[in-house]
Structure 1
């Protein structure tokens, strides 16, 4: 029986996917029951049932055995990384944890969040029921900023390191970068970072070979090159 329940979304949605990929990398996916919402067009995450769990209407939202709810991907991951045994994905030492937080903030704020903003304001995104703002100029600005900051990350990877912190295994910042690359390739986002930057492409190819990645993206993530994982 699962210890936790998470109200979440398919792998095309990057924040829930950060948590899903973390759980597989940590080896705790079997301890968490997933309730996957119909995000579009149903918009279940904005219905009153979910809003009682999380007034912000967000996924993922983790339900603990005592009925407590925990939201915000980074907060959920911090809890699970400390609560569950296994490799510390957020870093073992205080320095590693600080470095992981630094890189995760850079990638989340400057790349992934900008791509998700572009998705929401350039297109109907999740449909008229949920998308209330259209601003093509701001969307294109966000796209350009994401590309520019991805270039800085690519420069950091240019020394041949496998992962952002230079260690033998990925940390949470690497998970965030992985989901950012995946989302950059998704449908209307159409800004594939792996096609623009050599180091980021090597990083993406490395992730695609990991069992955790293949398990987390077993629904294909809405990305054509991952469609074969649905048959796995």
Structure 2
């Protein structure tokens, strides 16, 4: 694949686009994209007709392929790029690794990251009243507690001394989902920091912060997380 691709995305404060951005830097392909970063206000570009023609769901990221077609959803884009572009297979080099990466990725997305994101929306009207149509404090509090409980399970998994979830020498896509979940948990309004209370998760987070790919992925200083933006 030689033609540059067009990626329509969001600042580093938005978890799903950031998972893909971190993936692209780890894969070593970030410089092969023309990245259009939208203004993600309640009436932002992601909900305007030019983008809705590409992705009727009105979400980011959206990838335009060389033939003019589009692919959306973070995991789908990452899988496409992992298979179609050179470099380390981030999502697993063989069937077992791919299965384990999917298993851990699903656990973290469903029970940790998505729970924190849901709490952000239903507790705090995170994107403003024009987009946040539901406020549900009981559900938001449930999601917050579930994220903490499942982080404890990840903490236990990492307690055997492994650096990454699959136990290899380099992070997989599940590790990236966990890293972004930790970052988003530290967004001040979320009040759900996955911090030093989880000893092994906190060490995992510190490992991530030393990686050049992580530093490049958060270089916009627009994550909303002070400890990242002030580096």
TM-score by length of 1: 0.96
Structure 1 window deviating more from structure 2 (190-199 vs 91-100): it is 190-199
Q: Deviations over 1:96-141 (max 9, x none)?
A: 0100000000000010000000000001211122111111111000
- Structure 2 residue 9 is the aligned partner of structure 1 residue 8: yes
List structure 1 runs of 4+ shifted beyond 3 angstroms.
none
- The Cα of 1:41 is off from its aligned counterpart by 4.2
Match of 2:171 in 1: 170
Q: Which runs of 5 or more residues in structure 2 are unaligned? A: none
Match of 2:224 in 1: 222
- Structure 2 residue 40 is the aligned partner of structure 1 residue 39: yes
Structure 1 window deviating more from structure 2 (8-17 vs 192-201): it is 192-201
Q: Specify whether residues 211 and 2 from structure 1 end up closer, same or farther in structure 2 by C-alpha distance, changes over 3 A only.
A: farther
**Residues 45-194 of structure 1 aligned to structure 2 (within 5 Å):** 45-194=46-195
Secondary structure, aligned partner of 1:34: strand
| Aligned-partner Cα distance in 1 for 2:134–2:44 | 16
| Aligned-partner Cα distance in 1 for 2:144–2:153 | 15
| Aligned-partner Cα distance in 2 for 1:227–1:203 | 19
- The Cα of 1:2 is off from its aligned counterpart by 6.4
| Aligned-partner Cα distance in 1 for 2:121–2:51 | 21
| Aligned-partner Cα distance in 2 for 1:147–1:168 | 27
Give the number of aligned pairs. 229
Q: Is the 8 Å Cα contact of residues 43 and 130 (structure 1) preserved in structure 2?
A: no
| Aligned-partner Cα distance in 2 for 1:26–1:182 | 20
Q: Is the 8 Å Cα contact of residues 9 and 60 (structure 1) preserved in structure 2?
A: yes
Q: Which runs of 5 or more residues in structure 1 are unaligned? A: none
Secondary structure, aligned partner of 2:160: coil
Q: Is the 8 Å Cα contact of residues 5 and 62 (structure 1) preserved in structure 2?
A: yes
| Aligned-partner Cα distance in 2 for 1:218–1:67 | 29
Q: Is the 8 Å Cα contact of residues 2 and 33 (structure 1) preserved in structure 2?
A: no
| Aligned-partner Cα distance in 1 for 2:212–2:91 | 19
| Aligned-partner Cα distance in 1 for 2:197–2:62 | 34
- The Cα of 1:34 is off from its aligned counterpart by 0.9
Q: Deviations over 1:45-97 (max 9, x none)?
A: 11222111111111000011111100010000000001110000001111001
TM-score by length of 2: 0.96
Secondary structure, aligned partner of 2:230: helix
Secondary structure, aligned partner of 1:12: coil
| Aligned-partner Cα distance in 2 for 1:154–1:43 | 37
